[in-house]
Copies of this chain bind each other. A is one copy, B any other.
Amino acid sequence: MSSWGNYLKISIFGESHGGGIGVVMDGLPAGEFIDREALLLQMGRRAPGKDKAATPRSEADTPEILSGLLNDTTTGAPLCAVIRNTNTRSQDYGNVLSCPRPSHADYTGFVRYHGFNDIRGGGHFSARLTAPLVFAGAVCRQILEKKGISIAAHIASIGHICDSRFNETEIADELMQMLSESTFGLIDRTKESEMRALIEECRMDGDSIGGTIECAVKGMPAGVGSPMFEGVENVISSIVFGVPAVKGIEFGSGFAGSALRGSQNNDAFYYDGDQVRTRTNRHGGILGGISSGMPIIFRTAMKPTPSIAKEQHTVNLMDKTDTTLAIKGRHDPCIVVRAVPVIESVTAIALVNLLKDVNML
């Protein structure tokens, strides 16, 4: 299903080459002023063509808001935004039906929907569907910001080139702000040229490259999340895996922490004035599924763009033979860059749900 959420429900619709894509958000609190400029700024971060490391396509990703806003203020009724599809070149994808692109959803979608799924441009599986996710996330983050909760992510790595990590106990507001507006978000900006060079090299090779994204939430109050299956980790991961190309997620010390001893991985509590904090933050701001008040920090693994120009082995589903395929068309050699605001966005949606669960929204 392309619907998500218990308290704030979002319903994503659309196919890459259909009439349009969009989102319905049901359960927003009434009376929240939404800054349309800030929405467009977030949409722009994800849009192709904004950063030179991304695909050269340019989309008119301007959302039309059909409902739920009056005088730029939420009415409490469902908010629907539609983005028209334009500038599509369907002929690029002419052979997809017979020959599934390796590591795409072409084959599995074909089986799941008995061949009826719209395969033009990946159809409903297209990364273009992240545009309404960013829209919805941009609405949510404005609501969160008024509660003092900010979200920012950065490119933690591209290939083997790594950015610095967030300081796990204290993240400067300026860094949060800078990253949340960036189109090539890095903590250590000296890594940018090296990363861009790698991406360009992959593009020249007709290849692509994967990476990781690290996301932080600052200002999250303690006590948010519910045990077992509605913990912060469950809720975030259940929506993060809705972002195409995500193949892994880890919170706090994550996989590295699993090699440590308890005495190394445990976080000592202390009083900072009246507030309980931890000296370290291996737990990534979440204990027993519930926020501790420390920054929530997690990383996601993004696989390399499966669309590459190099010739690949695949099958012809029509005549049931093995064959080869060279994918034409315009593709990001590295989706990590544009996925940064998407990860932030789904996190914002997840947090609104979590806060509603405990009556904080």
Contact = CB atoms under 8 A, between A and B. Distances in A.
Q: Which of A15, A160, A210, A266 has the most CB of B within 10 A?
A: A266
Contacts of A230: 1
A246 to B, nearest CB: 8
A180 interface: no
Contacts of A218: none
A247 B253 contact: yes
A207 interface: yes
Interface string A249-282: 1111111011111111111111100101011001
Given A1-B228, A3-B26, A271-B315, A67 B15 contact: yes
B313 A358 contact: no
Contact of A234 (B242, B259, B267): B242
A39 interface: no
A15 B229 contact: no
Contacts of A209: 260-262
A68 B310 CA distance: 32
Interface stretch (A134-142, A143-151, A188-196, A297-305): A297-305
**Number of copies of this protein chain within its complex:** 4
A112 interface: yes
A244 interface: yes
Contacts of A276: 107, 315, 317
A217 to B, nearest CB: 15
Count class of interface residues, chain A: 35 or more
Given A66-B18, A284-B247, A313 B3 contact: no
B118 A20 contact: no
B287 A19 contact: no
Interface string A218-244: 000011111111110111011101101
B12 A11 contact: no
A111 interface: yes
Interface of A: 1-4, 6, 9, 11-15, 18-22, 24, 26-27, 30-31, 64-68, 70, 73-80, 82, 100, 102-105, 107-109, 111-118, 123-125, 129, 157, 159-160, 202, 205, 207-212, 222-231, 233-235, 237-239, 241-242, 244, 246-255, 257-271, 274, 276, 278-279, 282-284, 286-293, 301-308, 310, 312-315, 317, 320-322, 358-359
Q: What 4 A-B pairs come out closest when comparing CB atoms?
A: A105-B288, A248-B250, A111-B223, A77-B124
